[in-house]
Chains A and B, each alone.
Chain A
């Protein structure tokens, strides 16, 4: 007799288990031993084996034994070689993908973590940097004490929360509005239900206690040292802030009329109202001896050589503000604009009137989304986003969703062929349909031209969201080393071979997030201090409240809602609807205080 699968079948119940499994994997804590992880993955694979073919059934068990001996520290010196040979054999001989991929995974571990293997086999222990730390603070590039400020919010001390955030990040407001919140990625709460809404809570804090109304720590007495900061964006201002608190004088050279960098000229006002950005900037400028010289461009008004001579150190944080154009015919045609330029103009008040215009966007990153949604607000008749594959939509899911709600239309599997013009103006774009192809070695999907005919799409304005680069030409002439128009600096933000010159943020990494730029500014400030021979400490007067036991009742995450798409798309007014007090307190109450429970209370269990 044939039967449908019963509701309570084994498979159905296993699916529920898998759901939990997935959230465990998502919350896999930072700082774990990769080999321990690989071994558990190998065991998962072994549990998937049907037990039919020899290499998978018996070979994987032997591989597991070898991996165990590595972890236990009693592996013979040639264990990696034996493991490799065995797994190559399994990968080549197993009957189905279960065995093949399991063996490939082990091979992958050998390739990706040779240092960890060596450390276990030779010294019987993990490499130095393997140690579990508080997930959110670790993943925050600036290592803000997240559980600490959440606890302060919970106690109703939002000013304290702002102080504690600012101990590592002087842009609490800007980050509350636009941070990509990498801190939420592995929030331990995910094991119970869902990650904390950390950015949402920060937003609540800065709304209750405005950044410019919250005291900054007392600045040190004057050291007499002067540091030039080139670029008044998040990275440069962060660096200036910490340097000033240490007692140094920071002079910030900013090309634009106002400080803020991409936060002011890149991020549209509907995501970050400029008067709110000003709150952070005001607090930074008031924290100590920070002087800002707007409308001053290094290479134009001042020479880099002079900065090196006149200052004790220089921090280059010029960002990556030049929007890329495509190396193709008609790329300079009228009405073809890089997204960055488009956003910058809009922010500076030189808005384009797009009424009745068909707008096309090439690119799927956050900047492209900002441009698309800005175009909507400038009354474009239609806005289309074309990407080569779905994976090219790299913007935050909430940004994509927001754009969709506001009527931006998305088409994918189309590669951009060329620009058709008429009288020097863009007329249409030509697109080539794609088919999915193999994954490349970074695990990204590639596509190939399909045999279908190219596709002509009429448009009046073409916005290119295809990346940005830094304006390094003048610095290059002054001898600053660069690589593919990025400044060559290391993780300590030191510029290769130029003592006293530091650099960080987008101009080193290429376009990235505000919080990464802020982290670089912070690292640079402390390293400049050390370079000058000091170890200045910065006080933080906020006291983290004691942790209380959390009953861990699964509770939903409070999301930040957005205003009605049809209303919001007509203006640049802010779209977010922040949490209410009630929501914020409940959300804060979900935090598991990983600084107190678990590894966080161990020596070395916090980070940064």
Chain B
């Protein structure tokens, strides 16, 4: 690292070569006012508030976009500078519709703040844009975001945020005559604009020009913020819930290891809408045998009733007649307790989530490594832009930074427009294609070893099975093989993919491996917690006697050595071998639409714990009202196996109870003593039993970025693969 010596305000400072003056000053404890600047994103030098004096030059320079040079003598404060800064603000105000009283940004407005700090109250100038802006109608057809030109100071933060952070480019610079326009995509036709409604642009606007409509409902000073993990997909974006008077009124992005200040439409909007929905369940319900309808019941009665019924069924039909389904949106602690209940109280291994089961052993990098650090990305059977939008943004970023992209899919995938090569295959021919790729690797001598399964699948054969040009299969294979770092990002990890990665030598390094994007928000956590028919927590097999003995001694019961049923098998066995089912926070009717309805009706007994009366819950004999992610403590494990905290931001509605408490009551009622533990204590139990989670604890997660599991050696931050090449946003030093 080369350094240079500069003098700032009379002080000698040694700073990194090519640092901007602004950062150099900041690193030396000197702050310079800024308005348009955003580190690594916007340094166009529009507002000129950051001007400084440099010895030897008559004119002033914007510190945000001027680099230090050895020997530079810089002054950041002087009478002229102060006066000029005020003048800039006066000029800005002359074209700004100042109505702080009714502005959505009041309290969080950077312009307001900086005017106050600089002592600028009003302006003597008349402005030049008044007529133009008055004529431009506010853009507010988008349901969430609104643009009001009258408040815009044309700093272009939004434009560059859309381009560099969202990597969308839906928001552009426009022009009329000599005036800058913000071409915002929020008026009619916004659906076709390519805008993902991620709200990133609005989140960076320093004024009330670009606002989230819901921001009108609160003032910044009325709120507090709670850091948590987005519950909507498995990327594991970190976000802050904004709480006013015990209600969640908003969500904003936090600087999480995966998202780094990004959030998508689902995270920003959909995640919080259910929290205070009027349809929330607040009373346990019991189905009346006589009427077939629900009646409200007390917690004691409902728990006792459900426990009795499950116990009866177990006694009558044996342990394998009971099963549990664990929702993919639950926390690790919830999932752990749910499988523990099934294994200890029901006595079977019939516990499962509804998501597809991936082969995950090949995961080697974090989601950022595999995007920012990749030379070639093989995207296979996944459409992250819709399912995991922030991962979609990271992929677009990677492509903008020069990564090559291969898209294999049977569907139309937005990212295909940016792909070097696209292979649009017939539905259901993914395996053939992967074999075709392996065949090319082997026949062209690009592989470490051979692959029997692929022997028949020449590019021509695979091409005709999959309906794609064999040249493309060959090119994709060569491109993948030739790259130094090339991750496979896929919808579902399969053995073939793991084999492909191994054949091409793309394993064991950051920026390589196979990365299934878990379909469920905590799908990875579910598996890690043992909410799977063949494994205990930590992926330890139930049919391994030694493992079983450990769990038996920890849990104090005998455990079944026989792998249980997965969700599909459960539905098929319903009414036959399977008689009773406990569903934790999953709407089976939506998740497994084929046959779930009938299967559930065929059961002798169905208990559901959920936040809403879902179609599945409607079929239950007992319904327990549980709490949303904003009302409980816990952890989640993202698709790249990072454990992160879910934190309680608000109290649940009266009557609803945390999933862990409900499960604890159930276990006790079924005769398996289970102490009432806080989620933090439950995590301690997990850490003790699942070697991959050794060392994970809530208190540690509260102090640092979540570790990626498996955690090496029990104590370490699991960082072995975290130092990928490059950062997400490059450009400014």
Binding site for B on A (CB under 8 A): 33, 35-36, 39, 71-74, 120, 124-126, 130-132, 220-225, 247, 533-537, 539, 546-549, 551, 596-597, 601-605
Task: Tell me if B420 and A601 are in contact (CB < 8 A).
Answer: no
Name the residue among A33, A224, A551 with the largest chain B CB count within 10 angstroms: A224
Q: List 19 A-B contacts (CB under 8 A).
A: A33-B178, A36-B177, A72-B131, A120-B177, A124-B176, A125-B175, A126-B176, A131-B174, A220-B479, A224-B470, A224-B474, A534-B422, A535-B418, A535-B419, A535-B420, A546-B18, A549-B54, A596-B65, A604-B172
| Alpha-carbon distance between A39 and B177 when the two chains are bound, in angstroms | 10
Given contacts A124-B135, A549-B61, whether A601 and B175 have CB atoms under 8 Å apart is no
Q: From residue B169, how far is it (CB to closest CB) to chain A in Å?
A: 8
Contacts of A71 in B (CB 8 A): 176-177
Tell me the residues in window 209-232 of chain B with beta carbons closer than 8 Å to chain A beta carbons: none
Find the B residue at minimum CB distance from A71. B177
Interface-side segment among B155-163, B333-341, B351-359, B628-636: B155-163
Task: Tell me if A603 and B156 are in contact (CB < 8 A).
Answer: yes
Task: Tell me if A72 and B156 are in contact (CB < 8 A).
Answer: no
Q: From residue A40, how far is it (CB to closest CB) to chain B in Å?
A: 9
Task: Tell me if B160 and A603 are in contact (CB < 8 A).
Answer: yes
Contacts of A247 in B (CB 8 A): 475
| Alpha-carbon distance between A223 and B470 when the two chains are bound, in angstroms | 10
Contacts of A72 in B (CB 8 A): 131-132, 135, 177
| Alpha-carbon distance between A605 and B172 when the two chains are bound, in angstroms | 11
Task: Tell me if B478 and A222 are in contact (CB < 8 A).
Answer: yes
Find the B residue at minimum CB distance from A131. B175
Task: Tell me if B175 and A603 are in contact (CB < 8 A).
Answer: no
Q: From residue B373, how far is it (CB to closest CB) to chain A in Å?
A: 16
Among B174, B402, B481, contact of A537 (Cβ-Cβ < 8 Å):
B402
Flag B145-180 by CB within 8 Å of A: 1 or 0 each: 000000000001001100100000000111111100
Name the residue among A130, A220, A221 with the largest chain B CB count within 10 angstroms: A221
| Alpha-carbon distance between A343 and B427 when the two chains are bound, in angstroms | 61
Task: Tell me if A36 and B159 are in contact (CB < 8 A).
Answer: no
Among A33, A73, A132, A536, contact of B420 (Cβ-Cβ < 8 Å):
A536
Among B172, B177, B421, B470, contact of A603 (Cβ-Cβ < 8 Å):
B172
Task: Tell me if A125 and B173 are in contact (CB < 8 A).
Answer: no
Task: Tell me if A548 and B421 are in contact (CB < 8 A).
Answer: no
Task: Tell me if A223 and B45 are in contact (CB < 8 A).
Answer: no
Binding site for A on B (CB under 8 A): 18, 43-45, 54, 57, 61, 65-67, 69, 131-132, 135-136, 156, 159-160, 163, 172-178, 181, 399, 402, 404, 417-422, 470-472, 474-475, 478-479, 481-482
| Alpha-carbon distance between A247 and B404 when the two chains are bound, in angstroms | 13
Contacts of A74 in B (CB 8 A): 131, 135
| Alpha-carbon distance between A225 and B419 when the two chains are bound, in angstroms | 17
Contacts of B18 in A (CB 8 A): 546
Task: Tell me if B420 and A126 are in contact (CB < 8 A).
Answer: no
Q: From residue B733, how far is it (CB to closest CB) to chain A in Å?
A: 8
Contacts of A597 in B (CB 8 A): 45
Among B69, B175, B471, B475, contact of A33 (Cβ-Cβ < 8 Å):
B175
Q: From residue B112, how far is it (CB to closest CB) to chain A in Å?
A: 25
Contacts of A126 in B (CB 8 A): 174-177
Contacts of A551 in B (CB 8 A): 57
Contacts of B160 in A (CB 8 A): 603
Among B44, B67, B478, contact of A221 (Cβ-Cβ < 8 Å):
B478
| Alpha-carbon distance between A603 and B174 when the two chains are bound, in angstroms | 10
Task: Tell me if B479 and A221 are in contact (CB < 8 A).
Answer: yes
Given A73-B132, A221-B482, 14 additional A-B pairs, CB 8 A? A72-B131, A73-B131, A124-B136, A126-B176, A131-B175, A220-B475, A222-B475, A247-B475, A534-B422, A535-B420, A537-B404, A537-B420, A597-B45, A602-B156
Task: Tell me if A223 and B475 are in contact (CB < 8 A).
Answer: yes
Rank and list the top 10 A-B pairs by shortest CB-CB distance, nearest first: A224-B471, A221-B478, A71-B177, A125-B176, A36-B177, A223-B475, A601-B44, A126-B175, A546-B67, A603-B159
Name the residue among B136, B159, B420 with the largest chain A CB count within 10 angstroms: B420
Task: Tell me if B176 and A131 are in contact (CB < 8 A).
Answer: no
Q: From residue A322, how far is it (CB to closest CB) to chain B in Å?
A: 38
Given contacts A221-B479, A549-B57, whether A603 and B173 have CB atoms under 8 Å apart is yes
Contacts of B174 in A (CB 8 A): 125-126, 131
Task: Tell me if B181 and A223 are in contact (CB < 8 A).
Answer: no
Task: Tell me if B181 and A604 are in contact (CB < 8 A).
Answer: no
Contacts of B177 in A (CB 8 A): 33, 35-36, 39, 71-72, 120, 126
Task: Tell me if B422 and A533 are in contact (CB < 8 A).
Answer: yes
Given contacts A602-B44, A602-B173, whether A534 and B57 have CB atoms under 8 Å apart is no
| Alpha-carbon distance between A223 and B469 when the two chains are bound, in angstroms | 11
Contacts of A548 in B (CB 8 A): 67, 69
Find the A residue at minimum CB distance from B69. A548
| Alpha-carbon distance between A131 and B474 when the two chains are bound, in angstroms | 42
Q: From residue A221, how far is it (CB to closest CB) to chain B in Å?
A: 3
Given contacts A534-B420, A602-B44, A603-B160, whether A73 and B66 have CB atoms under 8 Å apart is no
Task: Tell me if A224 and B475 are in contact (CB < 8 A).
Answer: yes
Find the A residue at minimum CB distance from B133. A73
Contacts of B136 in A (CB 8 A): 73, 124
Task: Tell me if A130 and B175 are in contact (CB < 8 A).
Answer: yes
Contacts of A539 in B (CB 8 A): 402
| Alpha-carbon distance between A604 and B475 when the two chains are bound, in angstroms | 33
Contacts of B175 in A (CB 8 A): 33, 125-126, 130-132
Contacts of B132 in A (CB 8 A): 72-73, 124
| Alpha-carbon distance between A590 and B421 when the two chains are bound, in angstroms | 43
| Alpha-carbon distance between A527 and B416 when the two chains are bound, in angstroms | 16
Task: Tell me if B421 and A534 are in contact (CB < 8 A).
Answer: yes
Contacts of A604 in B (CB 8 A): 172-173
Contacts of A605 in B (CB 8 A): 173
Task: Tell me if B471 and A603 are in contact (CB < 8 A).
Answer: no
Given contacts A221-B479, A224-B475, A546-B67, whether A73 and B402 have CB atoms under 8 Å apart is no
| Alpha-carbon distance between A33 and B177 when the two chains are bound, in angstroms | 5
Contacts of B399 in A (CB 8 A): 537
Contacts of B69 in A (CB 8 A): 548
| Alpha-carbon distance between A35 and B177 when the two chains are bound, in angstroms | 7
Contacts of B173 in A (CB 8 A): 131, 602-605
Task: Tell me if A601 and B43 are in contact (CB < 8 A).
Answer: yes
| Alpha-carbon distance between A548 and B67 when the two chains are bound, in angstroms | 7
| Alpha-carbon distance between A71 and B181 when the two chains are bound, in angstroms | 13
Contacts of B44 in A (CB 8 A): 601-602
Given contacts A33-B178, A73-B132, A602-B173, whether A220 and B420 have CB atoms under 8 Å apart is yes
| Alpha-carbon distance between A33 and B132 when the two chains are bound, in angstroms | 16
Contacts of B420 in A (CB 8 A): 220, 534-537
| Alpha-carbon distance between A523 and B18 when the two chains are bound, in angstroms | 35
| Alpha-carbon distance between A539 and B403 when the two chains are bound, in angstroms | 9
Find the A residue at minimum CB distance from B422. A533
| Alpha-carbon distance between A596 and B172 when the two chains are bound, in angstroms | 19
Among B176, B404, B471, contact of A120 (Cβ-Cβ < 8 Å):
B176
Find the B residue at minimum CB distance from A31. B175
| Alpha-carbon distance between A551 and B160 when the two chains are bound, in angstroms | 28
| Alpha-carbon distance between A601 and B177 when the two chains are bound, in angstroms | 20
Task: Tell me if A36 and B178 are in contact (CB < 8 A).
Answer: yes
| Alpha-carbon distance between A539 and B483 when the two chains are bound, in angstroms | 13
Contacts of A534 in B (CB 8 A): 419-422
Q: From residue A250, how far is it (CB to closest CB) to chain B in Å?
A: 15
| Alpha-carbon distance between A247 and B419 when the two chains are bound, in angstroms | 15
| Alpha-carbon distance between A301 and B409 when the two chains are bound, in angstroms | 43
Contacts of A220 in B (CB 8 A): 404, 420, 475, 479
Task: Tell me if B43 and A225 are in contact (CB < 8 A).
Answer: no
| Alpha-carbon distance between A120 and B475 when the two chains are bound, in angstroms | 48
Contacts of B176 in A (CB 8 A): 33, 71, 73, 120, 124-126
Q: From residue B129, how far is it (CB to closest CB) to chain A in Å?
A: 9
Find the A residue at minimum CB distance from B416. A535
| Alpha-carbon distance between A62 and B419 when the two chains are bound, in angstroms | 55
Name the residue among B177, B178, B421 with the largest chain A CB count within 10 angstroms: B177
Q: From residue B211, how far is it (CB to closest CB) to chain A in Å?
A: 21
Task: Tell me if B45 and A601 are in contact (CB < 8 A).
Answer: yes
